[in-house]
Chain A
Amino acid sequence: DVKVTQSSRYLVKRTGEKVFLECVQDMDHENMFWYRQDPGLGLRLIYFSYDVKMKEKGDIPEGYSVSREKKERFSLILESASTNQTSMYLCASSRNAVGYEQYFGPGTRLTVT
């Protein structure tokens, strides 16, 4: 069974804190993605990675960074959390293959106070 796991389901942090969100996939997928999910805005891509140590900015990278040291793990970092980063964060992975299904994690609900 395909599995994408995220380190926390719920997280509460204070403004200015450094926040780490971790994502692990066990499918040997090349591509991994981080999205924000906000009502009325859908899913917006923050960053993605198509290989170890490779990363590309998505549509809304400001205030975020990422790390991919191993193929199975993709971390999202909020260097200095702000209240406008309160959101649901979804991780996904996919193969470089025709059909291109993305497999999603359960999400992390982050609240910044």
Chain B
Amino acid sequence: AQRVTQPEKLLSVFKGAPVELKCNYSYSGSPELFWYVQYSRQRLQLLLRHISRESIKGFTADLNKGETSFHLKKPFAQEEDSAMYYCALLYGNKLVFGAGTILRVKS
């Protein structure tokens, strides 16, 4: 069955440190994956999608089919990156979300 796993409930880093939010998926087909972000008191919004191969707010994510992973990375964390991050897999016309990881960037 299709599944998205985010193993960390909370990731706490210092400002300027590298960030990696882990995401693993289970899917038999060719996956289409996304990262969504929810800042405090804001609505959930799309951060990036793997098919675009883009960098948004300094974040990148590479699809690794061998490891079935889509980890989100940023070389230097900023305080404004503190938020809840969800990894999601497209299945038909639905999204399957992971449990989410809270990122806290400390000054």
Contacts and interface: CB of A to CB of B under 8 A. Distances in A.
Contacts of A96: 93
B23 to A, nearest CB: 11
A104 B39 CA distance: 13
B93 A31 contact: yes
Nearest to A105: B43
Interface residues of A, number: 27
Interface string B40-81: 000111100101100000000000000000000000000000
Interface-centre pick from A41, A98, A99 (highest chain B CB count, 10 A): A99
Contacts of A41: 99
Contact of B49 (A43, A92, A99, A107): A99
Contact of A42 (B45, B46, B49, B99): B99
B86 A43 contact: yes
Contacts of A50: 93
A90 interface: yes
Name the interface size band of chain B. Answer: 20 to 34
Interface-centre pick from A33, A40, A44, A102 (highest chain B CB count, 10 A): A102
Contacts of B93: 31, 48, 50, 94, 96, 100
A97 B62 CA distance: 22
Interface of B: 6, 9, 32, 34, 36, 43-46, 49, 51-52, 86, 90, 93-100
Interface of A: 4, 31, 33, 35, 40-45, 48, 50, 58, 90, 92, 94, 96, 98-107
22 contacts: A35-B97, A40-B9, A40-B99, A42-B6, A42-B99, A42-B100, A43-B86, A44-B97, A45-B94, A45-B95, A58-B94, A96-B93, A100-B49, A100-B93, A101-B49, A102-B36, A102-B46, A104-B43, A104-B44, A104-B45, A105-B43, A106-B43
